[in-house]
């Protein structure tokens, strides 16, 4: 029935880091696929703004990149999650990242003097750039679509690295498709909201904590998960920002906060840490397109 009738309930406001054509935009479209009529999309210009929009009730949900399989953690997302009090992770989305070389229509490869993009896609195509455009200068932009916009308005000597959706939106020619150095290029996005998700039986839980300033204190936390046979799928350290050599840790574990063992383990972690924040339990991502 869905798709026949227009959604008549209250629209769910969802924020992402724009402009249109970013991989965040693509991830958001993937997340709401099949339920497009229930969502109203809101564009923000930075990752921090997207997340704060949830905290400030400007949107109901927000999509923010959390880690890339090649570049690693997205620090601004982690730092904002650690700081802001009233937000939870309610879902995750994994997106395969394909980068492309975009130019103004008619530009030939030998005319390209400068390649611009966000530092992350530049990093993902660094071998390609070295090999194919060793003499081009590389310049950083605020986003892949800012780069595409600049190319759209330029004299033809500049190329942008960006998504196919960006090429379409800004009327650019795709000079070469799939120029990323590795095909294992995936980004994991978190869907952020005021509440997390109910138990499905295949869930993940995220927490952030700082340990006491004593030798072996991180080991003692991991020991708790070991004791309860809880699998950790990820550990990420970020600076505590008060002193060099002090860190906070982001940990993902398998299970839901309503699982008895996980609940007990988290109670114990809370006692053995100087700060702990529960970031949410949510379903492990399963790609519907792959099924």
| Out of 225, 256, 262, 265, the residue judged to bind its own copies by CB under 8 A | 225
| Out of 234, 257, 263, 272, the residue judged to bind its own copies by CB under 8 A | 234
Which of 28/141 has CB closer to its own copies?
141
Q: Which long-range contacts (CB under 8 A, 24 or more apart) does 82-87 make?
A: 82/208, 82/238, 82/248, 82/250, 82/277, 84/51, 84/52, 84/55, 85/55, 86/55, 86/194, 87/51, 87/54, 87/55, 87/192, 87/193, 87/194
Binding to its own copies (CB under 8 A): which residues in 167-186? 182, 184, 186
> Binding residues for its own copies, how many (CB under 8 A)?
41
Which of 39/65 has CB closer to its own copies?
65
Residue 206: what are its φ and ψ, rounded to 5°?
Answer: -115, 135
| Out of 25, 88, 104, 188, the residue judged to bind its own copies by CB under 8 A | 188
| Out of 56, 195, 233, 267, the residue judged to bind its own copies by CB under 8 A | 233
Which of 43/173 has CB closer to its own copies?
43
Does 228 contact its own copies by CB under 8 A?
A: no
Does 236 contact its own copies by CB under 8 A?
A: yes
Segment interacting with its own copies, rule: CB under 8 A, options 4-12, 20-28, 69-77, 162-170: 69-77
């Amino acid at each position: 029935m869905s798709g026949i009738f227009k959604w008549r309930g209250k629209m769910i406001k969802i924020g992402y880091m724009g402009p249109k054509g970013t991989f965040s935009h693509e991830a958001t479209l993937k997340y709401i696929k099949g339920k497009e009529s229930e969502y109203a999309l809101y564009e923000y210009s930075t990752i921090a703004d997207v997340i704060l929009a949830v905290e400030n009730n400007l949107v109901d949900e927000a999509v923010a990149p959390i880690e890339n399989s090649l570049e690693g953690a997205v620090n601004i997302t982690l730092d904002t999650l650690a700081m802001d009090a009233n937000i939870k992770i309610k879902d995750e989305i994994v997106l395969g990242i394909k980068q492309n070389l975009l130019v103004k229509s008619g530009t030939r490869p030998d005319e390209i003097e400068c390649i611009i993009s966000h530092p992350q896609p530049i990093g993902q195509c660094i071998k390609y750039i070295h090999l194919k455009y060793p003499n081009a200068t590389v310049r950083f932009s605020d986003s892949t679509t800012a780069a595409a916009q600049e190319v759209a308005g330029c004299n033809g000597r500049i190329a942008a690295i960006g998504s196919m959706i960006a090429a379409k939106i800004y009327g650019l020619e795709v000079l070469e498709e799939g120029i990323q150095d590795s095909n294992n290029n995936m980004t994991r996005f978190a869907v952020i909201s005021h509440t997390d998700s109910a138990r499905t039986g295949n869930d993940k839980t995220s927490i952030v904590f700082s340990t006491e300033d004593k030798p072996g204190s991180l080991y003692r936390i991991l020991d708790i998960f070991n004791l309860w046979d809880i699998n950790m799928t990820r550990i990420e350290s970020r600076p505590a920002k008060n002193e060099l050599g002090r860190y906070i840790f982001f940990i993902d574990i398998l299970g839901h906060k309503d699982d008895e063992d996980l609940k007990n383990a988290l109670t114990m972690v809370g006692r053995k840490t100087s700060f702990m924040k529960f970031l949410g339990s949510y379903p492990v991502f399963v790609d519907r397109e792959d099924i």
